[in-house]
Chain A
């Protein structure tokens, strides 16, 4: 389980890691502030209370002894040393010149101030080491100095240890917060990416797919449920629309069949004048163009709404272009156009060979139709990092920039091309074939002329 979870992280791109790490850092910062505050208060309260009580004891002792009659003082200190040797405070009485009169502090500590205020001083020990003492001193009548001290070395060590422990704990909290925050964000984003990938597939025609909904219903799951309901409805609508389209085609084509046969019978009956025969021939052509239109419309509907990727194989676009180039060269020559194929062999993409042929043929037919006498048409397949670009270009009149978007829509024909027969569904069909494959269709200015590109992403392994 963990291995699977961990390995799912390996595939996550750097962008996701970066934004997840930012979230992790934020979590760590908040955690550091919170934990730091708690630790700070604990530290302050604990150490302050301890040092206050020691200061209190030292001051109290000093004041107590200072209030005694001066002549009694040496005796009291001596008896205290004799009778209470285990007491924690040290006491000493120094003469005005600093020499010890009585007490258990060997020498007057350096830096001593005689203001009765306790402060911590480092004092050399008899063993040659240093010890830290909490010391308070005052000068008595006659210039003698009374000094009270307490060893706080252990306490200071404890405080340092406490500080270290708190800092370590804080660091651990920050690290944990960072890791947990990042992991949470990565998982969240991984889920979003999965949802995105599903949405992408649905957009490409897999209308039957649904977004994942987990047992734990969080807000994202609720949203997914709503989107899934929308998709249910959309799927039903598309199905109804598709059926309606097919029904219209059916309903239209059946009477057209009868009509066509009637006209043919009239034509072949031998009783029509030449002028009437011309009219009948025109009617027959009109019926055929209606037929071509319905065929093309149905074909677009079929490609766009049939989510199944039937017959996807590896198709060498270079080979396909050469074949199409060969087939259409005579047609181009008759139109006074030089047709050329420039292909990096092999330029392999994954797709439906017949649909791709249909797309390229459509573009080639368009180019030959619109380029004009004396012009050139080039079929290209160029391979570059991670993609194959298939292009059909000409140096004819081209498409005005304002018309380019429009050209891809059904039925639309650029104003400049009005006068050339055709239903205008050609590029729309190419666009739907491109969409079906997840290829990008681009219209470019060939300066002069028009250049239509199919940008086909390929996995490196297939190149």
Chain B
């Protein structure tokens, strides 16, 4: 069972996080401050830490920085109510692996945690394969079965991102940040529209849908057998 330590001072938020994550099959621990968290972290056995940035007493960023100075490699997801660009940069510099702005959908939190737990294999393989889909990263060509896929550059990047995270839930916010490099929110449904185009090129009639929606959260890529 995956064990997550939540370090959050707001009791209501902490309770809801514990309830929501518990319902999704995670085991959770809770600390209301950095002081309370330290002995728990020292015990070890956590798969990931969820750290609120602003905590009473010692602040969450300092805690993460100290953690990294001790060469603790446990993945850290920072929660913040601020969410400006500078703020995010500070969080990542301190050693956070990801950064989530409050309020967030629980599904988004879970997707981010899963992404942290299964850091994609960023190997230097020149060809990615998932089922019948083949992506040649050097020639920038894509095939499904024996069929060439005519992908625009952005569609190619999208498909590559999904294939590297096979079976993992990907949220629109993750796509905007990692594929488009936009660290700001859009008002339009750009992601949905682009993904729709990719899907139409990917799936012919009668073929399995490779990228499916996860209701209220995002999308997942599953290779056909």
CB within 8 Å of B: which residues of A? Answer: 246, 249-262, 264-265, 268, 284, 287-288, 291-292, 295-296, 298-299, 302, 306, 310, 326-328, 330-331, 334, 354, 357-358, 361-362, 365, 368-369, 422, 426
In the assembly, what is the distance between CA of A462 and CA of B181, in Å? 26
Q: Are B23 and A368 in contact (CB under 8 A)?
A: no
Knowing A261-B20, A299-B184, A422-B187, the reply to whether A330 touches B193 (Cβ < 8 A) is: yes
Chain B's closest residue to A248 (CB) is: B81
Q: Which residue of B20, B185, B188, B193 is within 8 Å of A264 (Cβ)?
A: B20
Within 8 Å of chain A (Cβ to Cβ): is B186? yes
Q: Are B85 and A326 in contact (CB under 8 A)?
A: no
Tell me which residues across on chain B come within 8 A of A426, comparing CB atoms.
Answer: 187
Q: Which residue of A253, A256, A261 is within 8 Å of B106 (Cβ)?
A: A261
Which of B153, B183, B184 has most chain A Cβ within 10 Å?
Answer: B184
A-B contacts counted at CB < 8 A amount to 117
Within 8 Å of chain A (Cβ to Cβ): is B13? yes
Q: What distance in Å separates the Cβ of B141 from its nearest Cβ neighbour in chain A?
A: 19
Q: Which residue of B15, B101, B107, B186 is within 8 Å of A361 (Cβ)?
A: B186
Tell me which residues across on chain A come within 8 A of B182, comparing CB atoms.
Answer: 354, 357-358, 361
| Residue contacts A-B, CB under 8 angstroms, 29 given | A251-B81, A253-B103, A254-B102, A255-B13, A256-B102, A256-B103, A258-B13, A261-B16, A261-B106, A265-B19, A287-B103, A291-B101, A292-B187, A295-B185, A298-B82, A298-B84, A299-B84, A299-B184, A306-B86, A326-B152, A326-B153, A327-B154, A328-B190, A330-B194, A330-B196, A330-B197, A358-B184, A365-B187, A368-B188
Within 8 Å of chain A (Cβ to Cβ): is B139? no
Tell me which residues across on chain A come within 8 A of B197, comparing CB atoms.
Answer: 330
Chain B's closest residue to A298 (CB) is: B84
Tell me which residues across on chain B come within 8 A of A295, comparing CB atoms.
Answer: 83, 101, 185
For chain B, give the interface size range. 35 or more
In the assembly, what is the distance between CA of A422 and CA of B152, in Å? 30
Q: Are A253 and B102 in contact (CB under 8 A)?
A: yes
Q: What distance in Å separates the Cβ of A248 from its nearest Cβ neighbour in chain B?
A: 10
In the assembly, what is the distance between CA of A205 and CA of B15, in Å? 42
In the assembly, what is the distance between CA of A362 and CA of B104, in Å? 23
Within 8 Å of chain A (Cβ to Cβ): is B121? no
Within 8 Å of chain A (Cβ to Cβ): is B138? no
In the assembly, what is the distance between CA of A426 and CA of B23, in Å? 38
Q: What distance in Å separates the Cβ of B88 from its nearest Cβ neighbour in chain A?
A: 11
Within 8 Å of chain A (Cβ to Cβ): is B10? yes
Q: What distance in Å separates the Cβ of B49 from its nearest Cβ neighbour in chain A?
A: 17
* Binary A-proximity of B185-211 (CB < 8 A = 1, otherwise 0): 111111001101100000000000000
In the assembly, what is the distance between CA of A288 and CA of B104, in Å? 8
Which of A254, A268, A296, A310 has most chain B Cβ within 10 Å?
Answer: A254
In the assembly, what is the distance between CA of A284 and CA of B106, in Å? 11
Within 8 Å of chain A (Cβ to Cβ): is B105? yes
In the assembly, what is the distance between CA of A268 and CA of B19, in Å? 12
Question: Within B148-199, which residues are at the interface with A (CB < 8 Å)?
Answer: 152-154, 180-190, 193-194, 196-197
Q: Which residue of A291, A334, A361 is within 8 Å of B103 (Cβ)?
A: A291
Q: Which residue of A257, A299, A369 is within 8 Å of B104 (Cβ)?
A: A257
Within 8 Å of chain A (Cβ to Cβ): is B94? no
Q: Are A261 and B17 in contact (CB under 8 A)?
A: yes
Knowing A254-B13, A368-B188, the reply to whether A264 touches B106 (Cβ < 8 A) is: yes
Q: Which residue of A249, A331, A354 is within 8 Å of B81 (Cβ)?
A: A249
In the assembly, what is the distance between CA of A295 and CA of B180, in Å? 19
Within 8 Å of chain A (Cβ to Cβ): is B54? yes
Beyond A250-B82, A253-B103, A258-B15, list 15 extra A-B contacts (CB 8 Å). Answer: A250-B81, A253-B102, A254-B81, A255-B12, A258-B12, A258-B13, A264-B20, A265-B23, A295-B101, A299-B184, A326-B152, A331-B188, A365-B187, A368-B188, A369-B187
* Binary A-proximity of B3-32 (CB < 8 A = 1, otherwise 0): 000000010110111011001000000000
Q: Are A257 and B103 in contact (CB under 8 A)?
A: yes
Q: What distance in Å separates the Cβ of A166 from its nearest Cβ neighbour in chain B?
A: 73
Tell me which residues across on chain B come within 8 A of A259, comparing CB atoms.
Answer: 103
Question: Within B104-121, which residues are at the interface with A (CB < 8 Å)?
Answer: 104-107
Q: Are B20 and A265 in contact (CB under 8 A)?
A: yes
Tell me which residues across on chain A come within 8 A of B105, comparing CB atoms.
Answer: 260, 264, 284, 288
Q: Are B20 and A253 in contact (CB under 8 A)?
A: no
Chain B's closest residue to A261 (CB) is: B16
Knowing A246-B82, A326-B154, the reply to whether A260 touches B103 (Cβ < 8 A) is: yes
Knowing A249-B81, A299-B84, A330-B193, the reply to whether A257 touches B102 (Cβ < 8 A) is: yes
In the assembly, what is the distance between CA of A256 and CA of B10, in Å? 11
